[in-house]
Amino acid sequence: MVRRIPWTLVVMVTLVTSGVVSGATKASNAVSVATACVAQPEYSAPTPPSKDPFYSAPNPLPPQSPGTVIASRPTCLAGLEMGLPYKAWQVMYLSTGVEDSGGTPSILGATPVADIATIVLPLDGTPGTGPLPLVSYQTAEDADSELSAPSYTLRSGFGSADTAAVVSLLTQGDAVVVPDYEGLQSEFGAGVQAAHAVLDGIRAAESFAPAGLGGTPQAPTPVGLWGYSGGALATGWAAQLAATYAPDVHIAGAAEGGVPADPKAVVDNVNGSSSFAFLFYEAAVGDSVAYPNLFYDEDPNPGNGEVGGPATTGFATVANHAGQQMAAAYQAGQSPTVAPSISSYTWCGCNPADNPAEFPGLKELLDLNTMGRPGQVPDAPVYVYEAYFDELVPFAGVQSLVDTYCSEGLAVTFHVAFTTEHVSEAVVDAPSAVEYLQARLDGLAVPSTCGLPYNGGAPDPPVNTGGVLKGQI
């Protein structure tokens, strides 16, 4: 979603030309990288993950702890089809999935998996001079495709908005780790899977000796989390599970915007939406990969597989039919046409999220992916930013999550934007997210708006710009 905003290209140009590239000579560690990544006679896109041996995990996986780096290589951070002068690596590391060996959903007892992350140092971040602040940035990947994995898009230059976000952190002096939090199988929508990948990606970054980011028990590396939309799903879940899954990771604070806290509410909201309905099917396909023993095809009487026939009873089938239709349209060079209503893909003509008797696996998945459940509240302070007129993520669900966090004693700063919608909010309030994280990484006093009116009582803007723009961008 975020990548559809054309003016993010301008944002990145501004970031780069305001001193990022010219500052390459400030640190000796940037020189060789600048030579390798910038001074290329012609730009060429990197090899897709499916054809790149680096993405092939060893089988069996080594019996080591989550966060252990098992492969690494230097890489480049690219933007506008040119390399940027930052020292960077890709690492493959151990993590865990979401089901145990018996196929039961599990947070602490899931089977091992491998994931990929990109580690980037700021220009003046010389390894060996002490741990730098580290921010784990989660992109709004929102797709079931290897070509949307940030380890690929950051190298290719296709993820210009994400490159701009990473550069904005690097210019603050932070090191950045960007995990492929959907995993090697593109498990979009699985919150626990994303949390494991994020937290183990941080462990991998801290333990990766060439980056020099490891702290000590007396002086742990301060870590921030940031993500918007799909990236907020990964960020929020990582913040929630950090204390139980990765207590060794020192989370100083998290910033999350456009948070899909209540997936059931999101499903209901996009039903009938031509703009965002595709996300429902993508999340369904991703979850079916993450939870193969739960998200089974519930069709008791398979038919001939035609859309609208009895074979679409099972939601796995429903999602696959929708995905196949969209993929075929893309391959034909057309914009994919998604049915305006989810119910048009089901044999019952109903919304699967509203019919747990027909789709019990889907109901359990929606429950598993709902944020703010008992025992799943972050320990670290959180900045939540949300457009009141968000046409994708219902505002009420985000408000409910904030209320839950506040009721549990968490310090939450809740910023409500009245002049944006889902896409524009990603850009407009990104600077405030970075500012909040820098304050937490610097150890400044933690603010909270819990118990206060929106935005701490600041007056609302006089013009309802967000209401006018809703659905237009």
Mean pLDDT split into 10-residue runs, the chain, 473 residues = 32 38 35 45 72 93 96 84 81 94 89 95 69 92 80 79 89 95 87 96 96 86 96 97 96 96 88 71 79 60 39 54 63 57 71 77 85 92 95 93 96 94 91 96 94 73 47 43
- How far is Cα 80 from Cα 36, in angstroms, rounded to an integer? 16
Sign of CA dihedral 210, 211, 212, 214: negative
Would you call 192 helix, strand, or coil by DSSP? helix
Residue 407 Cα to chain centre, angstroms = 26
- Looking at residue 364, its pLDDT comes to 83
- How far is Cα 179 from Cα 228, in angstroms, rounded to an integer? 14
- Looking at residue 331, its pLDDT comes to 62
> In this structure, which amino acid lies at residue 456?
G
Q: How far apart are the first and last CA of the chain?
A: 11
- Looking at residue 214, its pLDDT comes to 85
- Looking at residue 32, its pLDDT comes to 43
CB 242 within 8 A of CB 214: no
Strand order across the 412-417 sheet: 69-79, 82-96, 112-120, 175-179, 134-138, 223-228, 251-257, 382-387, 412-417
Q: Is 94 exposed, middle or buried (0-12, 13-18, 19+ CB in 10 A)?
A: buried
- Looking at residue 148, its pLDDT comes to 82
Q: Where are the domains of the chain?
A: 2-257+385-468, 263-368
CATH number attached to the domain at 2-257+385-468: 3.40.50.1820
- Looking at residue 414, its pLDDT comes to 96
